[in-house]
Amino acid sequence: MSPIFLGLLAILSLGMIIYALLPQKEDKRRKVMDRLQNRARNAAKKSSKAGSRKSGAAKSLFARAAPTLSKPSTPQSEEARSNLRLKLASAGMRGQQTPAAFLASKTVLGVVLALAGLGGALALRLSVRNVFGLSVFAGAIGLMLPNVWLALAIKSRKEKINHGMPDSLDLMVVTIEAGLGLDAALQRVSDEMKTVHPELAEELILTTMETQMGLSRSEALRNLALRTDIPEMKSLTAILIQAERFGTSIAKAVRTHADSMRVKRSQQAEERAAKTAVKLIVPLIMFIFPALFVVLAGPAMMKLFETLTTVSMGF
């Protein structure tokens, strides 16, 4: 092999090694993109922290102002205040400052909507009587909106709890027949149903906590029925209290109640299915029948109109 060829081969190898060691354009581009992504992530983290700080500051400010703002909407009687706390507990809100925050929201909404109604009435240049009436009406709506929201929240929570009761009762029967006591069975059911039915699990956890704090089991079960305010839960707690009082089998009583609840649930599903045909009458009459009438009778009416026009022009 000639020395010239060996020298060219060495130069070529050295050039390839140097080219491999040099940074490529794609590597530079990748590094630039990584830097930009890191900066974007840092900016997003800073903005989220700033937003959380602002929201936390707003919440703390509202929490400090809630006792003062709630005074105009606070019920005068103790019975009304206790009923409000019970309704909030039925909706899943059990904080110490929850009643004050709820009443403060009523005051704030009432004032804001009253001012909005006043501004709209003045912009429309209505009379003084209409301005006063519109502002009062808007303020009354603002005072009623939290009550409507609370009623919807209570209804939704009741439906979720009622929906999870049959499965929870089946699991309770299995745990009691396996040898666990009622308190341990409630604790196990609440642990297992925490991800599937969190509302029901929360109520069962509160019941077990009350018994652990020294409250009697019957009183804790009565509180459970009072908080949920569901007929099925009230009958279940009554069955458990009676079974404990008279020494009967809790597993059999719970199984019977679960079977009856499952039958009732199927009957409610059949009832809803039977009501579907009646509920479809109004949409059929208002939306579907007019469209069908236009599609079917439209060409015939156009042909009839054309024929009558031709005949009248012939005369």
- Provide the CATH number for the domain around residue 231: 1.20.81
Are 166 and 214 in a shared domain? yes
Q: How far is CA 85 from each of CA 62, 75, 135, 210, 260, rounded to the nearest angstrom? A: 19, 11, 30, 18, 32
Does 100 fall in a domain? Answer: no
Same domain, 199 and 270: yes
pLDDT band at 20 (very low <50, low <70, confident <90, very high): low
* Average pLDDT score, the chain: 79
73: which DSSP letter? G
Asked if residue 239 is part of any domain, the answer here is yes
pLDDT at 151 > cutoff 70: yes
Instruction: Report whether pLDDT(19) > 60.
Output: no
User: What's residue 303's pLDDT?
Assistant: 83
Q: CB within 8 A of 273, min separation 6: which ones?
A: none
Asked whether residue 228 falls in the same domain as residue 260, the answer is yes
Residue-range definition of the domain harbouring residue 226 = 158-277
Determine, yes or no, domain membership for 183. Answer: yes
Q: What is the mean pLDDT of residues 239-255?
A: 83
Give the residue-averaged pLDDT of 171-177. Answer: 87
pLDDT of residue 240: 87
Determine the pLDDT at residue 44: 58
Total domains in the fold of the chain? 2
DSSP per-residue string spanning 99-111: HHHHHHHHHHHHH
pLDDT in tens, 88-138: 888 888 877 888 888 888 888 888 888 888 888 888 887 888 888 888 888
- 48: pLDDT strictly greater than 70: no
Non-local (6+) Cβ contacts of 190 within 8 A are 200, 201, 202, 204, 205, 208
Q: What is the pLDDT of residue 231?
A: 87
Residues 285 and 307 in one domain: yes
CB 203 within 8 A of CB 237: no
In a shared domain, residues 216 and 291: no
In the structure, what pLDDT confidence band is assigned to residue 59 with cuts at 50, 70 and 90?
low
Same domain, 215 and 293: no
- Establish if 210 belongs to a structural domain: yes
Q: Tell which wins on pLDDT, 40 or 130.
A: 130
Residue 188 confidence (pLDDT) above 70:
yes
Please report whether residue 217 resides in a domain: yes
Kindly state the average pLDDT of the residues 261-273. Answer: 84
- Nearest Cα to Cα of residue 172 among 197, 158, 159, 190: 190
Question: Between 15 and 55, where is the model more confident?
Answer: 15
Ramachandran angles phi, psi of 226, nearest 5° = -70, -40
**Residue 300 in this model has a pLDDT that exceeds 70:** yes
Q: What is the pLDDT of residue 253?
A: 83
Contact between residue 218 and residue 241 where contact means Cβ atoms under 8 Å apart:
yes
Do residues 164 and 273 both lie within one domain? yes
The pLDDT of residue 88: 86
Clarify whether residues 180 and 239 are in a common domain: yes
> Looking up tokens 């706390």, which residue turns up?
85
Q: CA Rg, the chain, in Å?
A: 36
Q: Is the pLDDT of residue 50 over 70?
A: no
- Residues 297, 247, single domain; the answer is no
Is residue 91 in some structural domain?
Answer: no
* Over residues 255-277, mean pLDDT: 83
Is 60 exceeded by the pLDDT of residue 273? yes
pLDDT band at residue 27 using 50, 70 and 90 as cut-offs: low
Q: Within a domain: residue 225? A: yes
Residue percentage of the chain with pLDDT more than 90: 1
Distance in angstroms (rounded) separating the CA atoms of residues 193 and 186: 10
Q: Is the pLDDT of residue 26 over 60?
A: no
Residue 177 and residue 286 in one domain:
no
Within this chain, do residues 205 and 308 fall inside the same structural domain, yes or no? no
- The verdict on residue 29 lying in a domain is no
| Cβ atoms 149, 241 nearer than 8 A | no
What separation in angstroms does the CA of 99 have from each of 83, 88, 213?
11, 7, 24
Residue 81 pLDDT more than 80? yes
Determine the number of helices (DSSP H) and then strands (DSSP E) in the chain: 12, 0
CA 109 to CA 58: how far, in whole Å? 16
In this predicted structure, the answer to whether residue 281 has a pLDDT above a threshold of 80 is yes
Residue with tokens 């092999």: 1
| Cβ proximity of 211 and 183 under 8 Å | yes
Query: pLDDT tens digits, residue range 190-240?
Result: 888 888 888 888 888 888 888 888 888 888 888 888 888 888 888 888 888
Chain-centroid distance, C-alpha 313: 67
Could you tell me if 271 and 163 lie in one domain? yes
